[in-house]
Amino acid sequence: MLQRLGERTYLIKGSPNTLIHETADKIFVIDPGSEKDRGNIITKEVTQNFENRKIEVLLSHSHSDHVAALATLDQDITPYISEQEISALIDIKTRKALTYSASAPSKMLYRFVDHSPERFKPFKLGSRVEGVEVVDLRGHSLGHAGFLTSDGVFYTGDSFFGDRLISSVGVPYYADYEGAVSSLLKLKELLCDDYVVVMGHGLVMDCKEALNIIDMNIRLMEEMKERVLGLSGLTEQEITYRLLKSANVNITESSLILGGVTVRAILSYLANEGAFQTKVDERGIIWMRVGR
C-alpha cells in the first residue's frame, strides 16, 4: 500500500524502502529492493494508482538488496544508475568482487541477479534525471547516489544507518571511509526543515530526526577510526574480529568479510594520513601505528 510523502512522492515500506515519484508522463521507482514478489507489488501499485505512465527506475547503488527486484519488473523498464556503479550492476563477478573484495563461497552471498547491460542508462553524480536531483553520497559504495524530488522528499539510500541496523551488524559497510564522512557532512548542509527524509533501511523522518541520526553516524565513524588506531600490530582481519566482538554481534564468515571492507577503508585512510605503516610476516600484512 502506498504511503504519501509529498505532493507527488509515495513510499512502499520495506528494507530497503522503495519510493514512487510521479511526473507528468512517467513514474520513477527509486530502489525497487530485493524480495522476489517486490516487482509484482510495485507493478500492482503503479497500475492501480497511476494511469498510462511509463515506469523507469532510479538506483542509489548496485548492491543486490536494492536492485535484485529488477528481475521481476517488466523488461521494457529503463533503470538509471551512476556511472561508477553500472559495471557492477551488469556483471555479477564485478559486483561480487566489489562487495566482498574477491570471490566468496555461495553461502556467504546475498542473492545476486544477472541484468542485461543494454537496459541501463548511466547518470552523473550531481546531475538531474528529469527533475529528480542526483546527490553525490559516495562512501557506502563508490558511486552511491541520493535522490531529492521536486516535492521535497530526500531518499538517502545507505549513506547512513539507524540504531537497529548498526546494532545488528556492528561494523556498517563503507567502501570509502573519507567519502562516507564527507557525505554525512554534506547531508548536514543540504537538509532543510521542510524535507521528508527516507533512509534505505529505516524510518521516514523529518529533518530534525534525520540530523540526530546523521550526528550519531558521524560519531560512530570517528569511534571506529579511534578503535582502529588503538589496535596496532594486527592484521586487517584481526582488527575486524575485535571490532565486531566489541560490538557484541554474532561473528560469521560474512560479517568478517563485509566488516573487513570498512576496516580496510579506514586503514587506507589512516595510512594515507601517515598514521599507519605496514610490515609482512607469516600472519600476513601487519598494520603498525606510526610512532609506537
| Domains of the chain, CATH where assigned | 3-225 (3.60.15.10), 232-289 (1.10.10)
∠ CA 196-139-143, rounded to 5°? 90
Long-range contacts of 33-36 (CB under 8 A, 24+ apart): 33/65, 33/66, 33/68, 33/69, 34/64, 34/65, 34/66, 34/67, 34/68, 34/69, 34/110, 34/111, 35/69, 36/69, 36/72
Burial class (CB in 10 A: 0-12, 13-18, 19+), 92: middle
Q: If residue 117 lies in a helix (H) or strand (E), which one and from where to where?
A: none
Contacts with 131 (C-beta within 8 Å, 6 or more apart), sequence order? 23, 149, 150
Length of the chain: 292
222-243: pLDDT as tens digits: 999 999 999 999 999 999 999 9
110 against 98, higher pLDDT: 98
pLDDT digits (tens, 9 = 90+) for 127-162: 999 989 999 999 999 999 999 999 999 999 999 999
Q: How confident is the model over 18-29, as a mean pLDDT?
A: 95
pLDDT of residue 72: 82
Distance CA 140, CA 159 (A): 6
Q: What is the mean pLDDT of the chain?
A: 90
Could you tell me what percent of the chain has a pLDDT over 90?
72
Q: Are 126 and 115 in contact (CB under 8 A)?
A: no
Q: What is the pLDDT of residue 109?
A: 46
- What is the structure's pLDDT at 108? 47
Give the pTM: 0.92
Amino acid at residue number 131: G
Question: Per the structure block, which three cell numbers stand in for 65?
Answer: 538488496
Task: List, for residues 163-195, the tens digit of each pLDDT value.
Answer: 999 999 999 999 999 999 999 999 999 998 899
Q: Which DSSP string corresponds to 46-89?
A: HHHH-SS-EEEEE-S---HHHHGGGGGS-TTPEEEEETTTHHHH
Output the pLDDT for position 3: 95
Average pLDDT over residues 244-250: 96
Question: Quick one: average pLDDT of 50-63?
Answer: 90
Closest to 23 measured CA to CA, from 135, 198, 150, 124: 150
Could you tell me the pLDDT band of residue 12, with boundaries at 50, 70 and 90? very high
pLDDT value of position 207: 96
- pLDDT digit string (tens) for 73-104? 877 888 999 999 888 777 767 766 666 665 55
Distance, in Å, from the CA atom of 29 to the CA atom of 71, rounded to the nearest integer, reads 14
